[in-house]
């Protein structure tokens, strides 16, 4: 449109039944746009709601192993549970409790946690290495960051004007006047 006086811009917006919205007030001269402001605000709020719905808060999930003498199948069940958490984007803390004389076999507990890590190596990395805290040994795993596959954009058909009508071929042709010859 170019540079237009404020009154003329307001008149054009009213004639179109739209609003005159100031887009860049710091520019010289200020930049304004003629648009339906209520419709634009509705679209912005809808985008924000969708973004909030897609967001996933990362949680720290704990998987407790009661004894270093855990059986292989029982450990597999806990590993599968942890795999689900990791694939969802949560961090997982494995906690192994030692009771009584089990404290003499801390190496068995370390082997159990290393086995769990080896089984989850394709989906997780160690965030906090194995450490002893009193009678508990723990390790924290974080999901691997994988690049999201790029969405393939479908090529949009450019609007080409036809020489006979002066309109784009994908636009529907409507009569100038309604029924009865009146608009």
Q: Are residues 73 and 138 in the same domain?
A: yes
Closest CA to 99 of 64, 56, 143, 50: 64
Instruction: Give residue 183's pLDDT.
Output: 47
Looking up tokens 């906090």 gives 128
Q: Are residues 70 and 136 in the same domain?
A: yes
Question: Is residue 75, in this structure, part of any structural domain at all?
Answer: yes
Question: Is residue 89, in this structure, part of any structural domain at all?
Answer: yes
Report the CATH number that the domain containing residue 36 is assigned in CATH.
Answer: 3.10.20.80
First vs last C-alpha separation in the chain: 28
- Beta carbons within 8 Å of 24's beta carbon, 6+ residues apart: 30, 31
Structure tokens at 157: 């058909």
Do residues 141 and 126 make contact, with C-beta atoms less than 8 angstroms apart?
Answer: yes
Q: Are residues 115 and 91 in the same domain?
A: yes
Q: Are residues 24 and 91 in the same domain?
A: no
Model pTM score: 0.54
Q: What is the rounded distance in angstroms from the CA atom of residue 62 to the CA atom of residue 138?
A: 10
Q: How many domains does the chain have?
A: 2
Instruction: Give residue 110's pLDDT.
Output: 94
Question: Is residue 176, in this structure, part of any structural domain at all?
Answer: no
Instruction: Give residue 3's pLDDT.
Output: 85
Do residues 86 and 120 make contact, with C-beta atoms less than 8 angstroms apart?
Answer: yes
Instruction: Give residue 177's pLDDT.
Output: 52
Q: Residue 112 sits in which domain range?
A: 60-143
Helices (H), 55-182: 72-88, 106-119
Instruction: Give residue 121's pLDDT.
Output: 92
Question: Is residue 167, in this structure, part of any structural domain at all?
Answer: no
Q: Are residues 92 and 129 in the same domain?
A: yes
Q: Kindly give the confidence (pLDDT) of every residue in the chain, 183 residues in length, as a single tens digit, with 9 standing for 90 and above.
A: 678 888 888 898 899 898 888 888 888 888 888 889 899 899 999 998 888 877 777 789 999 999 899 999 999 999 999 999 999 889 999 999 999 999 998 999 999 999 999 999 999 999 999 999 999 999 999 998 765 555 555 555 445 454 555 555 554 455 555 555 554
């Amino acid at each position: 449109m170019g540079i237009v006086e404020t009154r003329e811009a307001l008149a054009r917006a009213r004639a179109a039944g739209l609003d005159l919205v100031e887009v860049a007030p710091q520019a010289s001269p200020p930049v304004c746009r003629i648009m339906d402001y209520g419709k634009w605000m509705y679209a912005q709020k809808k985008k924000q709601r969708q973004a909030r719905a897609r967001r996933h808060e990362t949680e720290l999930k704990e998987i407790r192993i009661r004894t270093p003498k855990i059986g292989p199948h029982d450990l597999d069940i806990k590993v599968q549970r942890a795999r689900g958490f990791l694939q969802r984007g949560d961090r997982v803390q494995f906690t192994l409790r030692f009771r009584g004389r089990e404290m003499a076999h801390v190496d068995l507990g370390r082997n159990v946690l290393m086995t769990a890590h080896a089984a989850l190596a394709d989906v997780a990395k160690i965030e906090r290495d194995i450490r002893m805290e009193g009678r508990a040994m723990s390790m924290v795993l974080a999901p691997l960051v994988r690049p999201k596959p790029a969405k393939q954009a479908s090529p949009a058909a450019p609007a080409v004007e036809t020489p006979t009508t002066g309109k784009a071929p994908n636009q529907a042709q409507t009569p100038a006047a309604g029924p009865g010859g009146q608009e």
